[in-house]
Amino acid sequence: MKIFDESHEKDLEAQVNSFLSEMEGEVIDIKFSTAISVFGEDQIYCFTAMIIYTS
């Protein structure tokens, strides 16, 4: 299992694609999640992906 956590969607996409291009094994599932929180006047985004795979 591999977990990624980024503050921008494109960064998450780049990390996941890089991992998948170098990964040996078979992908079983990929789960994505987005969380948003407010800190003062700022909105903080958290984009995560969990890749379940066999090696």
Domain regions of the chain by residue span = 2-54
- According to the model, what pLDDT value does residue 47 have? 98
Which pLDDT band holds residue 42 (cuts at 50, 70, 90)?
very high
Q: What DSSP element (H or E) covers 21?
A: helix 9-22
Cβ neighbours of residue 16 closer than 8 Å, sequence gap 6 or more: 4, 30, 49, 51
- According to the model, what pLDDT value does residue 35 have? 97
In which order are the strands placed within the sheet that holds 2-6?
Answer: 2-6, 42-54, 26-39
Which residue matches tokens 């599932």?
29
CA 12 to chain centre: 5
Position 55 pLDDT exceeds 90: no
